[in-house]
Every structure is written in C-alpha cells, then in structure tokens.
Amino acid sequence: MMDTVLLVFANKHDLPNAMNAAKIPDRLGLYPLHHRNWYIQATCATSKDEFYKGLDWLSIQLWNKK
C-alpha cells in the first residue's frame, strides 16, 4: 500500500454551498498520509477540463511508478 496513489474528484464545485477544496483533505483525514501521493481535484460536471486535469495527474503518477 505504500505505492498507492489517491486521486479525489471533488465534484459539484459550481454550487454555492460546495466545500472548499482546501478543507477536503482534513475532512478525509489525508494529512497524516503525507508520505503517500494524493491529490484533490475540484470538478464540475459541466466542465471536462478539471476532470482531465485530475486524470493527467493520475497518469503522470502511474507512469512514474514504473
């Protein structure tokens, strides 16, 4: 599990009551996993750009694991 890569898509960021992406790692308890590679990508279903940014990050991480 030490080589695990975690990508979190924080969807619905276009809504007014959406949680700030900076608060998500705390809520998910990710800060103690500082030795692991994780990334939060804020997304909105109407815009594919953010989704692709997350997938780009993931592909780079997986490529570097080889």
Would the annotation count 26 as a binding residue?
Answer: no
What are φ and ψ of residue 45, in 5° steps? -60, -25
- State residue 15 phi and psi, 5-degree precision: -85, 150
Q: Helix, strand or coil for residue 59?
A: helix
Flag whether 14 is marked binding.
yes
Residue 23 among known ligand-binding residues? no
Which residues does the annotation place in the binding site for GTP?
A: 11-14
Which residues does the annotation place in the binding site?
A: 11-14
